[in-house]
Amino acid sequence: MLTETPLRAAELLAIHPFGRMPALRHGDVELCESKAIATWLDRSFPAPFVFPSDPRLAALTEQWVSLVNTVIDRTLIRTYLFAYIAPGTADGKPNRSAIDAVMPAMRQQIGVLDRAVAGTGHLVGDNFTFADINLMPILHRLGQAPEGAEVLAAARHLAAYYERHAARPSFARTEPPAGAPDRRKP
C-alpha cells in the first residue's frame, strides 16, 4: 500500500536518515533510496524484473543509471531546472544566463537519449528496466519548463518513449491528486 507522507515526517525519518522519499516498509523490511528498494523488490517478488539477469544487459542497465545520475541529472535538473527554481536575479525571474549556457549540453544529452531509445523504446534491451525507471522523473521535470519541453518534443523517439512510459499506471499514480499543489514543478 502506498502511503503519502510529508518529507522529514517522523514515519520517514524512521526509515530514511534524512527523511526523504522514496522509503519502503514491507513487513520487517525497511529500506530507503530507489536502487535499494528496486533491488529488494526484484529479488523478492516474481517477474517482471527491472534488473536483467543477462550479465550484458545488467551492466548496460547499471551504465545508464550511472550516466543519468552523474551527467544527465546534473545538466537537466541541477543546472537547467535549478535556474528556474533558484532565480539568479533580484526580481525572481529565471537565471537566463545559466539557462542559455546549459542549452548546448542539454540538446546533446537529449540527442544521446533519443538515439538510445530509438530501436526498442527502452534504454536497455527490449524490456522496461531500472534504467528507464530512473530516467522517467527527470524527463517529467524537464517537460515542465519551456526550453526543456521544446527540446524533449523535438526528440521524436524520446518524446514517444516518455509518453508511452508515462501512461503506465505505476507512473500515472505518482501524479498529485487533482487540486493538490504539485511541489515537483520548477
pLDDT score of 86: 82
Place of cell 522529514: 8
When mean pLDDT is compared across 3-7, 117-121, 122-126, the lowest value belongs to 3-7
- Domain-wise residue ranges, the chain: 10-44, 55-170
| Confidence (pTM) | 0.86
Among residues of the chain, what percentage have pLDDT more than 90?
77
Do the strands 29-32 and 23-26 form a parallel or antiparallel pair, or are they unpaired?
A: antiparallel
Domain 55-170 has CATH 1.20.1050.10: yes
Would you say residue 89 has pLDDT above 70?
Answer: no
Who wins on pLDDT, 111 or 20? 111
First vs last Cα of the chain: how many Å apart? 28
Per-residue pLDDT tens for 28-42?
A: 999 999 999 999 999
Would you say residue 184 has pLDDT above 50?
Answer: no
Per-residue pLDDT tens for 127-160?
A: 999 999 999 999 999 999 999 999 999 999 999 9
Q: 130: burial class by Cβ within 10 Å (0-12, 13-18, 19+)?
A: buried
C-alpha cell at 166: 508515462
> Secondary structure of the chain: what % helix, strand, coil (to 5)?
55, 5, 40
pLDDT score of 74: 97
